[in-house]
Structure 1
Amino acid sequence: MKASQKPLALGQQDQIRRRPLKLITAIALSAVGAIALNAAHAQSTSSSIFGRAPADSTITVHSDNGATRHGSPNNKGRYSFSSLIPGTYIVSLERNGQTLAKVQGVPLFASRASQVDFVCDNDQCTGTFGR
């Protein structure tokens, strides 16, 4: 011990030993809080509509709140619309500007997808809704 240092009292020695433990505890609690905060933001409030349709068609989704989106199936006949807000939708199959089939009342709930498939036989097209 240096001449200028005074010996520490017993209580002061315990405080010095506990500082690293307090620091580690504070860091651990902060990390847990950050994980919990990120988990709350990970919950989705949007949904999607997906399905099958003829590859040469256009699919239109129209919500009860006025939003409309258009898209085309890929070369395997699959389509998907993501990031849709919950509500009730009309899903239409179109070709050359004409509506060939329509499925009304498709419900979308937060974090859930709805499936709407279209099938065409000899220019007669039908759509079916399934979960």
Structure 2
Amino acid sequence: MKTNKKLLPIGHQHQTRRYALKFMTAIAVSAFGAIALNTAYAQSTSSSIVGKAPTDSTITVHSDKGLTRHGSPNSKGRYNLSALLPGTYLVSLEKDGKTLATVQGVPLFASRASEVDFACDNDQCTGSFNH
């Protein structure tokens, strides 16, 4: 019985396997790179509003896109409202359900924090945006 199958030299089969392995490695590295790029891009689109405020208060931010978030200062009077989308924000200092001070038009850019500080002297509270 005769077969018309051509036999390839052993070196050629080894070379073909090597190219196939390199090709599959390149595909895997490309896929991983695409996933890593998307993850890095997603992380770079949010930012924070940080600052100082009286420890017994609440900080509320309202974005021009309808987002509202609340946070409280820590024991040192520092607060950090993170994972906010870029836009323009109204930042309020509140205590016992009353708004004591507001800072309007706080811009927030991707991967950059904006600082808004509040201070209270007696019953008068003021806020300031630090560029």
TM-score calculated relative to the size of structure 2: 0.81
> 1:49-73 CA deviation, whole Å, 9 max, x = no partner?
1111111001010011122111211
Identity %: 60
Q: Which residue is equivalent to 1:5?
A: none
- Aligned-partner SS, 2:16: helix
Q: Which residue is equivalent to 1:86?
A: 86
Letter in 2 for 1:127: G
Counterpart-to-counterpart distance in 1, 2:69 and 2:17:
57
User: Which deviates further from its counterpart, 102-111 or 32-41?
Assistant: 32-41
Counterpart-to-counterpart distance in 2, 1:40 and 1:103:
36
> 1:59-111 CA deviation, whole Å, 9 max, x = no partner?
01001112211121111111111221211000011112221111111111222
Counterpart-to-counterpart distance in 2, 1:72 and 1:114:
16
TM-score calculated relative to the size of structure 1: 0.81
Counterpart-to-counterpart distance in 2, 1:85 and 1:72:
19
* Misfit runs of 4+, over 4 Å: none
Letter in 2 for 1:75: S
Q: Which residue is equivalent to 2:112?
A: 112
- The alignment of Structure 1 onto Structure 2 pairs a total of residues equal to 124
Cα shift at 1:25: 1.1
Cα shift at 1:32: 2.3
- Aligned-partner SS, 1:34: helix
RMSD of the TM alignment (CA)?
2.2
Cα shift at 1:21: 1.9
Matches within 5 A, 1:40-51: 40-41=37-38, 42-43=40-41, 44=43, 45-51=45-51
Counterpart-to-counterpart distance in 2, 1:104 and 1:78:
20
Q: Which residue is equivalent to 1:98?
A: 98
Q: 1:29 is matched with which residue: 26, 31, 47?
A: 26
Structure 1 unaligned blocks of 5 or more: 1-7
Letter in 1 for 2:104: Q
